[in-house]
Chains A and B, each alone.
Chain A
Amino acid sequence: NAGVMQNPRHLVRRRGQEARLRCSPMKGHSHVYWYRQLPEEGLKFMVYLQKENIIDESGMPKERFSAEFPKEGPSILRIQQVVRGDSAAYFCASSPRLADPYEQYFGPGTRLTVT
């Protein structure tokens, strides 16, 4: 049973370019969460999605960031016109059920570097 998969693992973008991060949840999981982590800090919640629905995007910056989880295919976190401050590790997690006290399963992360 494959775990959560994220690609690419490392992404380098110049200021102003677009970054597209992909996340494939564990088999059977329909809930996806995206987190951002700056160096030496804990993770910060960004967005929670179910298939074709954004449930909570309260942690997403209002501009340049968007997320989707289509009926088919991986969840995508898109950052338009990247700036240096977007450099961070982005993790996605999946879970089988909403508001379930069981664990969220995390992917290995995508490390975004903006030059």
Chain B
Amino acid sequence: DAKTTQPNSMESNEEEPVHLPCNHSTISGTDYIHWYRQLPSQGPEYVIHGLTSNVNNRMASLAIAEDRKSSTLILHRATLRDAAVYYCILRDGVSNYQLIWGAGTKLIIKP
């Protein structure tokens, strides 16, 4: 399975945009890029996913590099409730249903 690399932690100020990077240099053509987040003591929550094009939804935006070897999750205006561990995950959209989780990025929001 293709692997992802994320920083262990990041800090941001409340009300400011946050850019969470993810490297996936061994991504294959059929791998989807998923982002989940996990708030303290809760189950993971889907954030966004994409294949090639940038994606937007009510929670965040996903910017995917042209060569697909990296992506960035963008929270446009972080709030204290966005403090969580953010996981970048690749999943083969053709044959693989498993989500292979790394350690994620712990996002700390400063008031």
A residues in contact with B51, CB < 8 Å: 101
Please give the distance in Å from A78's CB to the nearest CB on chain B.
20
Select from chain A the residue with minimum beta-carbon distance to B49.
A101
Q: Pick the residue among B42, B87, B101 that contacts A44 (CB under 8 A).
A: B101
Interface residues in B19-70 by Cβ distance below 8 A to A read 32, 34, 36, 42-46, 49, 51
A residues in contact with B42, CB < 8 Å: 108-109
Are A107 and B43 interface neighbours, CB within 8 A?
A: yes
Select from chain B the residue with minimum beta-carbon distance to A109.
B43
Please give the distance in Å from B109's CB to the nearest CB on chain A.
19
Q: Pick the residue among A45, A98, A99, A107 that contacts B99 (CB under 8 A).
A: A45
Select from chain B the residue with minimum beta-carbon distance to A108.
B43
Q: Pick the residue among A45, A98, A107 that contacts B100 (CB under 8 A).
A: A45
> Across chains A and B, which 9 residue pairs bring their CB atoms closest together, nearest first?
A42-B101, A103-B46, A106-B43, A101-B93, A101-B32, A43-B101, A106-B44, A45-B98, A108-B43
Chain B residues within 8 Å of A, Cβ to Cβ: 32, 34, 36, 42-46, 49, 51, 87, 91, 93-104
Chain A residues within 8 Å of B, Cβ to Cβ: 4, 31, 33, 35, 40-45, 48, 56, 59, 91, 93, 95, 98-109
